[in-house]
Structure formats: C-alpha cells, structure tokens
Structure 1
Amino acid sequence: MSEPSDAATGGTEPSLEEQIAAYQREFQDLDPQVEQVVSALQRLNRRMNVAYGRQTATLGISNAEWEVLKALVVSGAPYRMGPGELAKRLGLTPAAMTHRIDRLANEGLVTRERDETNRVRVIVELTHEGREKWTEAMRMATVFEEDLLQDLSGEERRVLGDALTRLLRRVEDTQPDADGRLSDLD
C-alpha cells in the first residue's frame, strides 16, 4: 500500500487503495479489481477535465465551449449544425446549448444564421477564428495526452484503448440514456 493520503490526516480525497479498502470494509461483496478500474477511470476523467479546463482557459474558452467547437469540426466541412443537433450530440438541454452558442458567437468563434432552405431553422457554423481556436486547443491537448501516456508502450496503449472502447460500448448499449442525458429515472 502507498503512504497515507491527505484524507487520512484531514485532506480531501483518500488514495485509491484507501478508498477500495474502505469500500471492502463496509461492503464485503465488492470486487476490488472492478472497483480499482471504475474508481481509477472516474478519478482520471475528473483530473483530465481539470487539466483540459486549465488549457482552454488560457485560450479564453471553457471546456464546455471547446466541446461545441469539437462537435462542429467532427461534423465535417462546412462545420455547420443546428443547435438541436449540437445539444443532442453533446447531451445538453437546448437552453444549455443556447448559452454556449451565445458565448461562442459573442467571441466570434461561431456564427448563427437562418437556414436558407428553411427560414425557421437556425444553423451554427464554425468561423475561421473558431477553427484556429479549436486547432490550438487540440495542439495543447495532444501534448498533454502524449505526456499522460508516455510510460505505456505502443502495445499497452492499443490494449488499453481496445479495453476502454469495449467498456464504453457496453455502457452505451446497456444504460438508460436520453440523448446523452440521464433519463428521469424516478
């Protein structure tokens, strides 16, 4: 086991080993290998989001706004989507998407225009400045991600990527989900 964490002396979070030991103490049916994988993924996701947030903040955008830029780039040229499509793709409510689009439009990173063939429909399009901002964020993310995985061999990266992809597919196939948002399960 590792050294006691700050949590043992009043800090905020126990080490992964301490957390698993506490869970095993309180819930004997726990499979420690399963808990190690799940807890490590949760912590890694949280810490990576914080790191990405720090990086995007240096560019004047939030992680949430970077996600919108990414969705537009992934959609392919001419990098246009309706707000509803964007909200669905990112698992957001229409109101949350409107807020993100407003901020990005105010920064000149996207435009919002009426669809020429359906004047009721609005189209969000990535601007040249938005594409440049996305590219710079991707450069920063790539450096961070390569550093994160530097201790893994190519084969270890492939095996990890395959395993995580299988887990993702399992969750996508088996969990109640409403376009990326948790359903009202009451």
Structure 2
Amino acid sequence: MAADARDEVDDIVAAWQRERPDLDTTPMQVLSRVTRLARHLDRARRAAFAAHSLEPWEFDVLSALRRSGPPYQLSPGRLVTETLVTSGTMTNRVDRLTERGLVSREADPADRRGVQVTLTAAGRSAVDAALDELLEQERSLLSSLPPRDAEALAASLRTLARHV
C-alpha cells in the first residue's frame, strides 16, 4: 500500500498486529473507520442543524413528521417508535417543540382520548432547510468516492446493518 493511501486506522492495525500477531485484526479495518466516519458525520449533522437553529433531537422529531406525508401528523407513540426514545422523553420533546411553534398538538379524531402531533408551517420550513443543509454536508463527506463506490459501500453497509 502506498504511504499516501494509508490512514490512522492502518497505523493502529499495524501496531496491534506487531503487539498481538496472534489476533485477526480484520474487523478493526472496517469498524474503526466506521467509528471515525461517524464522528465526522455527527459534527456535520450538528453544524447543518445549528445553521437552522435546530438540535439533532429536534430534527429527528420534525423529520419523522415530515416523512409521514400530509397532513404531517403522528401520534406520540408513533414518534417514540420512529425516534427510539421513551414516551417520557417524547412528551418533553413535543412540549419544547410546541413552545417553539414547530409542532402543535391536536385531538385525535379517531380517539377522543388521544392526540396527534402535527408539523406546523414553521416546523416544515425549518426541517426542509436543515435537510437541504444536511445533504450538502453529507455529499461533501462522500465527495472523494466515485458514485459507483458510494453505491457499493451503501449496499455493503445495508447488508451489515441487517445482520447486526
């Protein structure tokens, strides 16, 4: 491998191979890079959301509503499922988003005891703008990969994720 094609993970793996030649360090070659890329992605996500005055958790809730399609409305229980948080956490998040005018609570016409969380026009504008920024950041992160390689990487990661 050419010296300019090496990265810090190659150095870490080489050191482990030197110190522990009895171990197969192949998983590190993939997963250490995934971990490092995840850190870069997290920073890019936070920057994209901050540019539109959103926290990552706010984007998660707003984007779940936006992806649901018109009328951009979900039950709190469905939001819990979509965002992988507890119901208590979701109640707090909906309260905070309601205070900011990004969502509203409405009575569920199918169940008078229930409520639906609805994306407001301001919420839709915020999540759409943040998504545009996020995709720009993500394109930048992937810019060194030819499209065919990006597609192959996506397919490989999908296969891996299905089995984890």
| Contact 1:23/1:30 (<8 A) preserved | no
Q: Could you tell me the TM-score, scaled by structure 2's length?
A: 0.86
| Contact 2:107/2:116 (<8 A) preserved | yes
Q: Structure 1 residues 28 and 127, CA, compared in 2 at 3 Å: closer, same or farther?
A: farther
Q: Could you tell me the TM-score, scaled by structure 1's length?
A: 0.77
Moved over 2 A (4+): 15-32
Per the alignment, residue 7 of structure 1 pairs with: none
- Alignment partner of 1:81 is 2:85: no
TM-align CA RMSD:
2.2
Q: Aligned runs of 1:167-178 on 2, under 5 Å?
A: 167-171=160-164
> C-alpha deviations, 1:5-44, integer Å up to 9, x for none?
xxxxxxxxxx323443455435842333x21211111221
What amino acid is aligned across from residue 66 of structure 1 in structure 2? F
Per the alignment, residue 134 of structure 1 pairs with: 127
Q: Structure 1 residues 2 and 104, CA, compared in 2 at 3 Å: closer, same or farther?
A: farther
Q: Structure 1 residues 26 and 120, CA, compared in 2 at 3 Å: closer, same or farther?
A: farther
Aligned length: 160
Of 2, 23, 31 in structure 1, the residue corresponding to residue 25 of structure 2 is: 31
Unaligned runs of 5+ in 2: none
Identity of aligned residues (%): 33
Per the alignment, residue 143 of structure 1 pairs with: 136
Q: Structure 1 residues 36 and 82, CA, compared in 2 at 3 Å: closer, same or farther?
A: same
Q: Structure 1 residues 27 and 76, CA, compared in 2 at 3 Å: closer, same or farther?
A: farther
| Contact 2:51/2:130 (<8 A) preserved | no
More helix by share: 2
Q: Aligned runs of 1:1-186 on 2, under 5 Å?
A: 15-24=8-17, 25=19, 28-32=22-26, 34-171=27-164
